[in-house]
Amino acid sequence: MALVKTNNHLVGVSFPQFAKTLGEQLRLHGPQNDLQALVAAPWFNGLTDYCQMDDIRPTPASVQYRTVRRVQTKSAANKRKRSVAKGWLNTEEAMAKIPATAQRSLTLPYLQLNSGSTGQHMRIFIEHGPLQSEPSSGRFNTYGLSSTATIPWF
């Protein structure tokens, strides 16, 4: 959530131990000055009670790269609402044509967060892309995720 508060689009995240869950390690990737600013922020002091943090280190010389992105699925209710709002269907048609079973469930690991705007619980499903030999530039969203920008994988 710190990246959300700072609105930083240069810092990406990865979960080096991911499998069925995201694992017990979170790694931040980005320019050293941006990482130092995150660590120096007042909110960060509270984290040291709950986690262990290593010093900021340079990326190893020989690495591969991958994207770490958010995957979202639309609920049946959201599909109905959108179909009605776009004028494609009326409310009754949407209820009949888009059953609750139309919702795709995800089995990816996820983060459980509280929405900053509504306070509601939400799951951010995370997918690590395939390994690549070359990095790809781009911007990270406020969760440190991107479907185009890669992070070094080590």
Domains of the chain: 2-73+105-153 (3.30.70.2540)
pLDDT over 90 at 73, yes or no: no
pLDDT-derived band of residue 102, with 50, 70 and 90 as boundaries? low
**End-to-end CA, the chain:** 24
Condensed to tens digits (0 to 9), the pLDDT of residues 105-146 reads: 688 999 998 887 788 888 899 999 999 999 999 999 989 999
- Give yes or no for residue 60 having a pLDDT over 90: yes
Tell me which range, 6-10, 48-52, 91-95, 129-133, is most confidently predicted by mean pLDDT: 129-133
DSSP string, 16-66: TT-SSS--S--EEES-HHHHHHHHHSTTHHHHTTT---PPP-PPPSS-EEE
Let me know: does 128 contact 119? Beta carbons within 8 Å.
no
